[in-house]
């Protein structure tokens, strides 16, 4: 479904979410069928025909169908209620209140009040990485997580722009689509890895003797039946290759599902931030400060795909989930009338003396200065002798 505006974009995301959930079940059934093929080879021996293995695996799938459906549904229920806890466990994010972060909390609250948006939870992740992301599947679960590095780098206008960006993801339904894609990729990736581990571990044991004994048993059975091709285990080899191919295909499709998160969603979120804040320059400046500094330590690729910027571009940029910062800035300059200050560097990248204190070299490439954010440690001003008061000692 093509999206030509905000409301059609939201409707498109809802439809995509339903298709992605259906895709989860389809991929699970493919994985179960592949597992049944492998099981048939090891349980029935290697002297059978390809048709025999396929027929029996199909019957196994029918028997396992309700169990696979129930397991998939259970995973969706668990992910629905506990995905935020899982993400927090991975990233280390924690809830903050107005008392703990009054300026940050007030910025988000003011944006929500100005547009009548329900206030999401506010979380902080302790890391020097400069990034933020939104999560949640419904109004009670929506949350925005910002890093301490982002708080140190950005001023109030820029922080408000980033919060507006994440609020737009929530308004547009992008967050739901991203979480559903993570659920699918996570469960399929887990099952695929489990299958491969079991298969290769079994293959190692079989090559040590069990496989040869199975082949010997199969050849004696097949000699009585007169089928020389089956005695060589050719049917079993074909079935095993097919099973591995199906598992690999399922894993690949689960990754493609994540690419259903169209890169246009980031451009729309940038535009939504400008619509909320009426400040294109702040969004551009924030993107320039985030550029190449958003790598979250220990975060999975699924979490990085939810962030304002994902520096993991993928092979030849074909699997990149985000447009480049240059492309996003160019769009804001062209369509929102913003001004591009050019690449910036972190205020942590200023020259420092041996004691770690920042020296007076505030110039940036292109002559642009990068003031630290309001939550960073201010540079102490130069001390000067106070003027003598009327009660000071006179010589």
> Lowest-pLDDT range, 30-39, 244-253, 373-382?
373-382
Catalytic sites, residue numbers: 166
Q: Is the domain covering 94-174+263-336 a CATH 3.30.2010.10 domain? A: yes
What pLDDT, on a 0 to 100 scale, did the predictor assign at position 226?
A: 39
* Residue-level pLDDT at 300: 75
CA neighbor of 44 nearest in space, from 29, 57, 34: 57
Q: Residue 359: which pLDDT band, with cuts at 50, 70 and 90?
A: very low
Q: How confident is the prediction for the chain on average, in pLDDT?
A: 76
Residue 136 per-residue DSSP state: -
- 183 has a pLDDT exceeding 70: yes
- So what's the pLDDT on residue 319? 59
Q: Are strands 94-95 and 121-125 parallel, antiparallel or unpaired?
A: antiparallel
* CA–CA distance, 249 with 255 (Å, rounded to integer): 10
Q: Name every residue whose Cβ is closer than 8 Å to that of residue 372 and which is 6 or more positions away in sequence.
A: 152, 153, 347, 378, 379
Q: What is the pLDDT of residue 2?
A: 52
HSE at residue 28, side-chain half, CA atoms within 13 A, is 23
pLDDT score of 111: 93
Helix (H/G/I), strand (E/B), else coil: 13: helix
Burial 52-82 (b: 16+ CB within 10 A, else e): ebbebbeebbeebeeebeeebeebbeebeee
> What pLDDT score was predicted for residue 107?
94
Predicted pLDDT at 88? 85
Q: What pLDDT sits at residue 192? A: 75
Tokens describing residue 372: 């630290």
> How does pLDDT run across 136-181, given as a tens digit for each residue?
888 888 999 999 999 999 999 999 999 999 999 998 888 887 777 7
pLDDT surpassing 60 at residue 252 = yes
Rg of the chain over all Cα atoms, to the nearest angstrom: 28
Give yes or no for residue 388 having a pLDDT over 60.
no
What percent of the chain stands above pLDDT 70? 71
- The pLDDT assigned to 286 comes to 95
Percent of the chain exceeding pLDDT 90 equals: 26
Residue 86, SS3 per DSSP: helix
| pLDDT number for residue 225 | 44
Q: Which residue has the higher pLDDT, 262 or 357?
A: 262
Output phi, psi for 147, to 5 deg.
-90, 155
- Write the pLDDT tens digit of every residue in 22-65: 777 788 888 889 888 888 888 888 788 888 889 998 999 899 99
More confident residue, 177 or 389: 177
Domains in the chain: boundaries: 6-90+177-258, 94-174+263-336
3-24 mean pLDDT: 69
Sequence-distant (6+) residues with CB within 8 A of 311 are 292, 294, 295, 304
Q: Give Cα 75 distance to the centre of its chain.
A: 18
- Per-residue pLDDT band for 125 (boundaries 50, 70, 90) equals very high
Per-residue pLDDT tens over the stretch 199-244: 666 554 444 434 443 443 344 344 344 344 444 457 888 888 898 8
Asked whether residue 14 carries a pLDDT value surpassing 70, the answer given is yes
Question: Which conformational region is residue 215 in: left (phi greater than 0), alpha (psi within -120 to 50 degrees), or beta?
Answer: alpha
Higher pLDDT, 89 or 14: 89
Q: Which two tokens stand for residue 37?
A: 């093929």
- Of 307 and 75, more confident: 307
**Interatomic CA distance for residues 2 and 24, integer angstroms:** 22
CA distance 77 to 79: 5
pLDDT for 174: 82
Better-scored residue on pLDDT, 41 or 356: 41
Residue 359 CB neighbours (<10 A): 9
Q: Kindly report the backbone phi and psi dihedral angles of residue 256, in degrees, each rounded to the nearest multiple of 5, phi listed first.
A: -65, -35
DSSP string, 244-294: HHHHHHHHHHHHHHHTTS-THHHHHHHHHHHHHHS-HHHHHHHHHHHTT--
pLDDT of residue 212: 43
pLDDT at 99: 92
Q: What is the pLDDT of residue 120?
A: 93
Provide mean pLDDT across the span 277-295. Answer: 93
Q: Region 84-104: what's the mean pLDDT?
A: 89
Interior angle at CA 157, CA 153 and CA 163, nearest 5: 80
Q: Please, are residues 375 and 150 in contact by the beta-carbon 8 Å criterion?
A: no
pTM (predicted TM-score): 0.70
Q: 125 pairs with which residues across the strands?
A: 147
At 345 the pLDDT is 66
pLDDT of residue 106: 94
Mean pLDDT, rounded, for 107-126: 92
pLDDT tens for 315-338 read 445 556 788 899 999 999 998 888
Asked if residues 347 and 370 have their Cβ atoms less than 8 Å apart, the reply is: yes
The pLDDT assigned to 258 comes to: 65
């Amino acid at each position: 479904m093509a999206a030509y505006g905000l409301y059609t974009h939201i409707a498109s995301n809802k439809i995509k979410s339903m298709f992605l959930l259906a895709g989860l079940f389809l991929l699970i059934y493919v994985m179960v069928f592949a597992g049944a093929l492998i099981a048939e080879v090891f349980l029935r021996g290697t002297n059978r025909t390809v048709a025999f293995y396929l027929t029996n695996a199909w019957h196994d799938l029918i028997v396992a169908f309700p169990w696979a459906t129930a397991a998939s549904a259970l995973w969706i229920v668990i992910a629905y209620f506990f995905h935020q806890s899982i993400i927090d466990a991975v990233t280390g994010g924690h809830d903050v209140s107005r008392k703990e972060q009054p300026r940050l909390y007030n910025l988000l609250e003011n944006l929500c009040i100005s547009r009548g948006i329900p206030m999401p939870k506010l979380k902080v992740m302790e890391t020097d990485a400069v990034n933020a992301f939104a999560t949640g599947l419904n109004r009670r679960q929506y949350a925005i997580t910002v890093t301490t590095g982002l708080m140190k780098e950005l001023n109030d206008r820029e922080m408000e722009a980033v919060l507006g960006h994440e609020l737009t993801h929530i308004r547009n339904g992008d967050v739901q689509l991203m979480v559903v894609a993570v659920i699918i990729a996570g469960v399929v990736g887990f099952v695929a890895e489990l299958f491969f581990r079991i298969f290769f571990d079994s293959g190692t044991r079989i090559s040590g003797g069990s496989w040869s004994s199975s082949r010997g048993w199969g050849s004696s059975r097949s000699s009585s039946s007169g089928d020389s091709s089956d005695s060589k285990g050719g049917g079993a080899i074909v079935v095993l290759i097919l099973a591995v191919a199906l598992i690999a295909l399922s894993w690949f499709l689960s990754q493609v599902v994540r690419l259903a998160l169209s890169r246009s969603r980031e451009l729309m979120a940038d535009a939504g931030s400008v619509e909320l804040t009426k400040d294109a320059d702040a969004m551009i400046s924030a993107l320039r400060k985030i550029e190449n500094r958003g790598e979250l330590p220990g975060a999975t690729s699924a979490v990085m795909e939810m962030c304002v910027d994902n520096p993991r571009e993928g092979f030849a940029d074909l699997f990149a989930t985000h447009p480049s910062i240059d492309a996003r800035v160019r769009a804001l300059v062209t369509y929102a009338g913003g001004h591009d200050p050019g690449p910036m560097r972190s205020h942590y990248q200023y020259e420092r003396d041996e004691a770690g204190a920042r020296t007076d070299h505030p110039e940036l490439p292109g002559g642009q200065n990068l003031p630290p954010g309001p939550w960073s440690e201010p540079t102490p001003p130069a001390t000067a002798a106070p003027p003598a008061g009327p009660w000071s000692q006179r010589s």
